[in-house]
Structure 1
Amino acid sequence: MDHSGTVVIVARPGSDWSDSLEVLSERYAYRVLLVGTPAEALTAMSSIHVDLAVAEDRQEETVGLDFLTRLRVSHPEIMRVYVTPAPSSVSYQALAKAAIYQFLLTPLDPAQLGLVVERALEARELHRRHRILSREFKISGALMFGERREPVFRPESHQFEKLVYASEKMAEMCDVAKQAAATELPILIQGETGTGKELLARAIHYNSPRRASPLLVQNCGGMPDELLQSELFGHKRGAFTGAISDRLGLFRAADGGTVFLDEISDVSPSFQVSLLRFLQEGEVKPLGADKVIHCNVRIIAASNKPLQDLVAQGKFRQDLYFRLKGFEFEVPPLRDRPDDIGPLAEFFAAKHADAMGRKVLGITANTLEKLALCSFPGNVRELENEIRRMVALTNDGEYITTRNMAPSLLAAASARRQGDGLRGFVPEGITLKDQVESLEKQIVGRALIRNHWNQSRTAAELGLSRVGLANKIKRYNLNENG
């Protein structure tokens, strides 16, 4: 499901935005989320990629303007549009502080709003391209701390909401996830800890027909049955010791929406029966209640242990497993998709630099290459923590370099590079000259493959001229097709 832009509108109670929503959704094909408070807007922004925010105020109110002002700091990349009945009551200084793109007067003209949003998103895209070009001009050529600063050439990165990727594995998975989002089938997401299972679940929810309804999250790991039953199904007052009031439960609270159950593999066999019944019938019976209530909730479950193996071991019900896997996704570990490390590192660097108020120019090519050699057993979560630490160690106006990397990661990257270098290579020939030439052929060939046969970069890496490299390619009869 492709959107040309995502717009969040913070509307005051009682406001009629129906015509404007129709224009933005139907004429411009934007995805529009209408929320009632700034807090709801921030919750949405934590889960989905938002391009533009519209905030409305009434006479003598500044709630919307205050929200846009805070947004300038917390989400500087989001364009901001202000809707107000009387601009004269708002000071120019306040408008300037919020750095809004445009303000509109009520009663609102939907066609005007659509045009302003379209122009704002065009300006946002132009600014993004300008920023990339400016950065490439700045980082080309010169050396800093003995490291290459030119950009690393790699596949273009993509985003599925907050999931950032460039690898073919993730692209294929996200393409299927976008299709799965449009259905009502339950979804099972498996993968190691820290790979981004919850981000995928949130992306699926916010690209589904249920996106206007709640997404509620419950971690099932290590919870006793009674507590988990209460959290999900609710309870009546007095149902057990400490139940001093009624509890709605997540399934009823999320009616019409989605519930994400993390670490589903940890639930007990008895609770698996309750969950299976809910998936089959949509029935909720709170603890201590006599009546059964029906709820319309989509389940997305996640596990860091292979459920199929647990089924084979008799630790997880086979019928529940088949019920959960309407669609089944396996999020690959970071070590199996090294192409994603660079885009993720740059995304996290920009994110945490903004959060810390740092002006970081970027990450050097040498640093990105070393990061790509690390296995990251903690996956994306470990990478983000490392980048956050590196940003904190980088001064304003500087690049993130290998001197900011954790010593353990540097050592691991060096060890892997040495191990992947010429392991198992046996020189050919009898004379010393023949064996040295066979070694040189191997080194040149591997460097060309590593640089995707870009001869300029390969020559620079090997300390050769382009003519010298071309002579060696010809001499050793090397070619791109092997």
Structure 2
Amino acid sequence: MNAHPGLGGLLLVVDDEPQVRAALVRCLQEQYEVLSAASGSEALSLLGKHPVDLILSDQRMPDMSGVDFFARTRISHPEVLRILITGYSEPEDMIRSINEAAVYQFVAKPWQPDHLLLIVKRALEGRELARRHRLLSRELKFADDVLRRETEGIVKLLQETYRFDRLIFASDGMAQACNLARKAAVTDLPVLIHGETGTGKELMARAVHFFSQRSDYPFLAQNCGALPDELLHSELFGHKRGSFTGAIGDRLGLFPAADGGTVFLDEISEVSPSFQVSLLRFLQEGEVKPLGTNDTRHCNVRIIAASNRPLKELVQQGKFRQDLYFRLRGFEVDIPPLRERPDDIPVLAEYAAEKYAEAIGRKIAGISQEVMRRLKAHPFPGNVRELENEVRRMVALAEEGEFLSVRHMSPEFVRLAPNKETSAAVFLRGKETLKQKVESLEAELVTQSLLRHKWNHSRAARELGLSRVGLANKIKRYQLDERQMEGGGS
């Protein structure tokens, strides 16, 4: 491969005469990266390994003609530009070449270097303009959809329908959540975010901060789960040296450090009743008292809290203070789980593929339709985080310029059968008795719940409203086992 730290594309030169091939390479490699091949078959092999943008081929070659070679690449690599170097003089021969091989341009022998470079430059410029036109057309179509949704009162602004800071989405449910969050951002009220693990609660919190009047001040985050009260108090309010074992120096604390900005408290449902009192006092008075001192200081901090469990239910169960709940829920934003917004899966997958490919300096041609079908068939118990991890793994396995395909997917995705008809669909048409139909539907619901929770009996039983013994009886009755995951469900 003859490479130049290049100016606009990867070219493939195909000619069986070594001197002519070398002359073409010398002419082109000053401005482009250039591959060369001595035959059509060798060129086809190179096309399978490299993301070629344009091919220049001689018409007369021993194994196949230039037109025959281009006719094959028209099917296998339709996006590649094709320029034929030929001694054709008859118009009917040129017309045949255009019809059979979709030749972009002809270069007559003997070719002139300046003329050849101009043709290549114009071809690549035209290709880039066509690509930009497709992107703009897609954006305009999307804008039309946005205007339609605005009239229905679903969204207010174009940017809110597909992006809210780093949150990417296309579904109406997510658009409504982000609409509410953006309205909350311009106020100074606390925000309470509900959502399953991996749905993007911290990204939502950052977006609220970014669109607020506090955006020039710090955004600091603290996970409240599994921290003892003393340590959590130290992290948020600060401490003085020697105030407890291991306190070898003064600590400012997140509330004073974020003065003027925002503090995000994740897993707020996990804090102890005694710490709930401390947090409530801070929300009421705005005062911070570090451990080991009687000194207090006032902090102007906005609180955004998040929970993967509904706080309202915890209040009803007596596990969370009602007054603190009301203080936190100035605005309450619910992020739907990914399984309830399948329209977001394609845009999230494409965004993740582009992001991770760029991070490792690799070009990815796109994501195959079969991959998209399997992604949409997966329940994603880990939500967006699970989707991103799967796409990141696929990008790492893919070669340069390759489409992400099923062979790059994890085994659990490969085993999915997205086109397989479920027993729920059969239920609507079958000739079975009512009892048989109900049992068929029950077996399907149990199976899908088990799949969603990766065969975790406790979680599946809780979702279905069954005891573990009741779920075990259903599994035994319908002869379900983990091998059903091989096919994506019964």
Q: Which amino acid aligns with 2:390?
A: E
2:185 and 2:404 map into 1 onto residues whose CA distance is 37
Structure 1 equivalent of residue 376 of structure 2 = 372
Contact 1:360–1:399, Cα closer than 8 Å, also in 2 = yes
**Given the alignment, which residue of 308, 315, 324 partners 2:312?**
308
State yes or no: 1:283 paired with 2:287.
yes
Larger gyration radius, structure 1 or structure 2? 2
Q: 1:287 and 1:166, CA in 2 relative to 1: closer, same or farther beyond 3 A?
A: same
**Given the alignment, which residue of 400, 403, 408 partners 1:399?**
403
Q: Which amino acid aligns with 1:299?
A: I
2:145 and 2:230 map into 1 onto residues whose CA distance is 49
Shift of 1:351: 0.4
1:235 and 1:417 map into 2 onto residues whose CA distance is 61
Structure 2 equivalent of residue 331 of structure 1 = 335
2:202 and 2:129 map into 1 onto residues whose CA distance is 28
Residues 282-305 of structure 1 show CA distances to partners (whole Å, capped at 9, x for unaligned) of 010000111211100000000111
Residues 87-135 of structure 1 show CA distances to partners (whole Å, capped at 9, x for unaligned) of xxxxxxxxxxxxxxxxxxxxxxxxxxxxxxxxxxxxxxxx999457279
Q: 1:369 and 1:423, CA in 2 relative to 1: closer, same or farther beyond 3 A?
A: farther
State yes or no: 1:176 paired with 2:180.
yes
* Identity of matched residues, %: 60
Q: 1:161 and 1:283, CA in 2 relative to 1: closer, same or farther beyond 3 A?
A: same
Q: Which amino acid aligns with 2:199?
A: T
How many residue pairs match? The answer is 288
Structure 2 equivalent of residue 133 of structure 1 = 134
**Given the alignment, which residue of 241, 247, 268 partners 1:243?**
247
State yes or no: 1:263 paired with 2:267.
yes
**Given the alignment, which residue of 196, 199, 215 partners 1:211?**
215
Larger RCO: 1 or 2 (CA < 8 Å, sep 6+): 1
Residues 138-179 of structure 1 show CA distances to partners (whole Å, capped at 9, x for unaligned) of xxxxxxxxxxxxxxxx97861101100000001111111111
1:390 and 1:158 map into 2 onto residues whose CA distance is 24
1:233 and 1:325 map into 2 onto residues whose CA distance is 22
Residues 443-465 of structure 1 show CA distances to partners (whole Å, capped at 9, x for unaligned) of xxxxxxxxxxxxxxxxxxxxxxx
Contact 2:371–2:405, Cα closer than 8 Å, also in 1 = yes
Q: How does 1:380-459 map to 2 (within 5 A)?
A: 380-414=384-418, 417-419=421-423, 421-426=425-430
1:415 and 1:134 map into 2 onto residues whose CA distance is 30
Contact 1:256–1:296, Cα closer than 8 Å, also in 2 = yes
Q: 1:128 and 1:338, CA in 2 relative to 1: closer, same or farther beyond 3 A?
A: farther
Shift of 1:427: 7.0
List, as ranges, runs of 4+ consecutive aligned residues in structure 1 with deviation greater than 6 Å.
134-137, 154-157
Q: Which amino acid aligns with 1:236?
A: K
SS in 1 for 2:364: coil
Shift of 1:205: 0.2
Structure 1 equivalent of residue 227 of structure 2 = 223
Residues 51-93 of structure 1 show CA distances to partners (whole Å, capped at 9, x for unaligned) of xxxxxxxxxxxxxxxxxxxxxxxxxxxxxxxxxxxxxxxxxxx
For structure 2, list consecutive stretches of 5 or more residues without a partner in the other structure: 1-127, 139-143, 147-160, 433-490
Contact 2:373–2:418, Cα closer than 8 Å, also in 1 = no
Q: Which amino acid aligns with 2:308?
A: N
1:136 and 1:369 map into 2 onto residues whose CA distance is 24
State yes or no: 1:161 paired with 2:136.
no
C-alpha RMSD of the superposition: 2.7
